[in-house]
Structure 1
Amino acid sequence: MTRTAVLICPGRGTYNKAELGYLHRHHADKTALFAGFDAQRREAGQEEITALDGATRFSVSKYSRGDIASPLIYASALADAQSLAEDIEVVAVTGNSMGWYIALAAGGALSADDGFKVVNTMGTLMQEQLIGGQLVYPFAGPDWQGDPARKAELLALAAEIDARDGHDLALSIDLGGMLVLAGNEAGLAAFETAVPVVEERFPMRLANHAGFHTSLQAPVAAEGRRRLTAEMFTQPDVPLIDGRGQIWWPGATDTQALWDYTLGHQVVEPYDFTLAVQNAAHEFAPDLFIVTGPGTTLGGAAAQSLVQVGWQGMTSKADFKARQAEAPLLVSMGDAGQRSLAAG
Structure 2
Amino acid sequence: MTTNTNLGEKTKQRVLVIAPGRGCYNKEELGYLHTHHHDKVELVEGIDAYRDLLKQASIKQLDSAEKYSFKLHTAGENASALIYACAMADFMDIDTDKYEVVAVTGNSMGWYIALACAGALNSDAAIDVINTMGSMMQKGLIGGQLIYPEMDKEWRLDKAKTVLIDSAIEQVNTEEGCEVYTSILLGGYRILAGNEAGLKRLEVVLPYIDERYPMRLYNHGAFHSPLLDDVSKRGLEGLPASLFNLPKVPLIDGEGRIWTPQSTDIDKLRRYTLGAQVTETYDFTKAVQVAVKEFAPDKVIVLGPGNTLGGPIAQALINIGWFGWQEKNHFSESQEASPELLAMGNELQRQQVLKQ
Asked if Structure 1 and Structure 2 have the same fold, meaning a TM-score greater than 0.5 normalized by the shorter chain, the answer is yes
- Counterpart Cα distance in 2 of 1:215 and 1:127: 19
Contact in 2 for aligned 1:184/1:211 (Cα 8 Å): yes
Query: 96, 99, 109: which one pairs with 2:120?
Result: 109
Query: 82, 86, 89: which one pairs with 1:76?
Result: 86
Question: Is the deviation greater in 81-90 or in 267-276?
Answer: 81-90
2:338: which partner in 1? 327
- Counterpart Cα distance in 2 of 1:196 and 1:261: 35
2:181: which partner in 1? 170
| Structure 1 residue 22: Cα displacement | 1.0
2:282: which partner in 1? 271
Q: Is 1:311 aligned to 2:322, yes or no?
A: yes
Moved over 4 A (4+): none
- Counterpart Cα distance in 1 of 2:124 and 2:85: 10
Q: Is 1:42 aligned to 2:52, yes or no?
A: yes
**Partner amino acid, structure 2, of 1:16:** N
Contact in 2 for aligned 1:159/1:170 (Cα 8 Å): no
Q: Is 1:213 aligned to 2:224, yes or no?
A: yes
Alignment of 1:1-344 (within 5 A): 1-85=11-95, 86-344=97-355
Contact in 1 for aligned 2:168/2:206 (Cα 8 Å): no
| Structure 1 residue 65: Cα displacement | 0.6
- Counterpart Cα distance in 2 of 1:289 and 1:222: 34
Consecutive unaligned residues in structure 1, runs of 5 or more: none
The Cα offsets for residues 97-136 of structure 1, whole Å up to 9 and x where unpaired, read as 0000000000010002211111111111033341100000
| Structure 1 residue 313: Cα displacement | 2.5
**Partner amino acid, structure 1, of 2:127:** F
The Cα offsets for residues 210-265 of structure 1, whole Å up to 9 and x where unpaired, read as 00000000111111111111111110000000000110011210000000000000
| Structure 1 residue 270: Cα displacement | 0.3
- Counterpart Cα distance in 1 of 2:17 and 2:163: 30
- Corresponding residue SS for 1:301: helix
| Structure 1 residue 285: Cα displacement | 1.0
- Counterpart Cα distance in 1 of 2:174 and 2:273: 28
**Partner amino acid, structure 2, of 1:122:** M
**Partner amino acid, structure 1, of 2:130:** V
**Partner amino acid, structure 2, of 1:138:** P
- Corresponding residue SS for 1:337: helix
- Counterpart Cα distance in 1 of 2:173 and 2:123: 39
- Counterpart Cα distance in 2 of 1:33 and 1:5: 24
- Counterpart Cα distance in 1 of 2:203 and 2:321: 31
- Counterpart Cα distance in 1 of 2:159 and 2:102: 31
Contact in 1 for aligned 2:151/2:189 (Cα 8 Å): yes
**Partner amino acid, structure 2, of 1:69:** A
* TM value normalised by structure 1: 0.98
| Structure 1 residue 312: Cα displacement | 3.0
The Cα offsets for residues 18-63 of structure 1, whole Å up to 9 and x where unpaired, read as 1111111111111011111010000111111111111111111111
* TM value normalised by structure 2: 0.95
- Count of aligned residue pairs for this structure pair: 344
**Partner amino acid, structure 2, of 1:97:** S
**Partner amino acid, structure 2, of 1:187:** G
**Partner amino acid, structure 2, of 1:14:** C
The Cα offsets for residues 279-309 of structure 1, whole Å up to 9 and x where unpaired, read as 1111111011111001111110000000011
Consecutive unaligned residues in structure 2, runs of 5 or more: 1-10
- Counterpart Cα distance in 2 of 1:152 and 1:277: 23
